Amino acid sequence: MNPAREFLLNAAAKSVDLAHRKIIRKNMDHYEVRLAEGVARFADWEGARDVCSAIKDDAIEHLGDYLKQFEAKVKARGGVVFWAETAEEARDYVANLARDRGVKRVVKSKSMVTEEIHLTSALERAGCEVLETDLGEYIVQLRNEPPYHIVTPAMHLTRKEIYETFKEKLPGITTDEPVELVAAARRVMREFFFSAEMGISGANFLVADSGMIALTTNEGNARLGTALPRIHVVVTGIEKVVPKLSDLGILWPTLAGAATGQSLSAYNTLIGGPRRQNEVDGPEEFHVVLLDNGRTALLAESEQREALKCIRCGACLNNCPVYRQIGGHAYGTTYQGPIGSVLTPHFRGHDFDHLSYASSLCGACTAGCPVKIDLHHHLLRNRRNAVQNSRPLLERIAFRLFRWTMLSSARYTWFAGIGKKLATLLRGTAFDPLREWNRYRTPPQMPKKSFRQMWRDGDV
């Protein structure tokens, strides 16, 4: 089944799943309250957005220079930088590293880039046990599901569903009390933290002037996962670079405010390389995999390159009326919602052009973006590109027929009369061009008289 058809079926099923919508609405309502609190902590929220946008604009405009600066700093501290042009190159590098070093256990901190390249399955094929250490990621890993949301991977699950998952997968679970469930997950993770030979993380930001990676979590798992194993591997997109360490002074609180409504995430960590002489902890090896995977192609498009400014806060998903109805899994992609619909056709090709139509174009995503990406206009540009690349034959015929009809008053009148009769006859049948819409909605009643007839009869 092609991705477009699969998306339509998934979206249709989720949009009428009232239990699913109730869960999502509850979580989104909670998010709105927290976001309002987070924004209120800023003296000038719009000013903060302007500053963050300018920082990321600078980073994207000088991406090559900042990445070279970052690479030089990492190497100077004894780290290794690997440039991966494709997902396959990134997977192979990490998997081969694990084989060469005899790694059997891997702990992962939350990272959407590793989801993008399907790193876990590659490591498992290399003979490694891989454990997600973010609680939400761990829950969806137990269920063999991809993350549902960029920030909150298990947003779609109820407490009962999480309990049932734990009871099935972990021994000794007898209660659905959250404290007990978290304690059970912690016992599993702690054992892995202390036995894993490799820790893998993403990076919220790569700081060019200091060669540091900046990590943000609320559970502290990234600190354990990057400090305890003897090898730390960072897998990150090249667009995560920012010019200066001081930029984090505004980027960190703005990210936390837009993502979860916090003034600052609980754990913010800077890591610059492997353990040095006389240091008592930290990894023996430090590797940074800088992933392209379509990003430089997007960078070359001056009209849309600003999509690379995304800091993965998830605000556009939370604000999107389409995402609120169909949820994250319906998209069938790593990045969902408005930013996913903008990025995925660039990263994965024209098979995903349909995602650009999964938007009401209301602009709520743009209004909520903390780095001011003009998301809804990029969706329109993607639609334009999709039409230029491939317009279905029936659509071309339909538009030519429409144009021919509209150029003649007589033809318009005749087709309007035919269309009125056909709309009633075909409604709900396999020949109804609006059947997907009409399946779930009451169609509007056709008026007895057209406006032209009413005008002619003196009714208006």
16-20, long-range: CB < 8 A, 24+ apart: 16/440, 20/156, 20/327
Other CB atoms within a 10 A radius of the CB of residue 141 amount to 21
Q: How far apart are CA 83 and CA 222, in angstroms?
A: 23
Cβ distance 384 to 353 under 8 Å?
A: no
Q: Which two tokens stand for residue 31?
A: 């998010």
Model pLDDT, residue 121: 96
pLDDT tens track for 58-87: 999 999 999 999 999 999 999 999 999 999
Q: How far apart are CA 256 and CA 175, in angstroms?
A: 32
Helix axes 178-195, 159-169, angle to 10 degrees: 50
Whether residue 300 is predicted with pLDDT greater than 90 in this model: the reply is yes
Q: Which two tokens stand for residue 415?
A: 């087709």
Residue with tokens 């690479």: 71
Whether residue 426 is predicted with pLDDT greater than 90 in this model: the reply is no
Model pLDDT, residue 314: 94
Whether residue 156 is predicted with pLDDT greater than 90 in this model: the reply is yes
- Amino acid identity of residue 215, one-letter, is L
Burial class (CB in 10 A: 0-12, 13-18, 19+), 101: middle
Whether residue 433 is predicted with pLDDT greater than 80 in this model: the reply is no
pTM of the model: 0.87
pLDDT tens track for 367-383: 999 999 999 999 999 99
pLDDT tens track for 343-360: 999 999 989 999 999 999
Model pLDDT, residue 278: 87
Whether residue 440 is predicted with pLDDT greater than 90 in this model: the reply is no
In the chain, the percentage of residues whose pLDDT exceeds 90 is 78
Whether residue 437 is predicted with pLDDT greater than 80 in this model: the reply is no
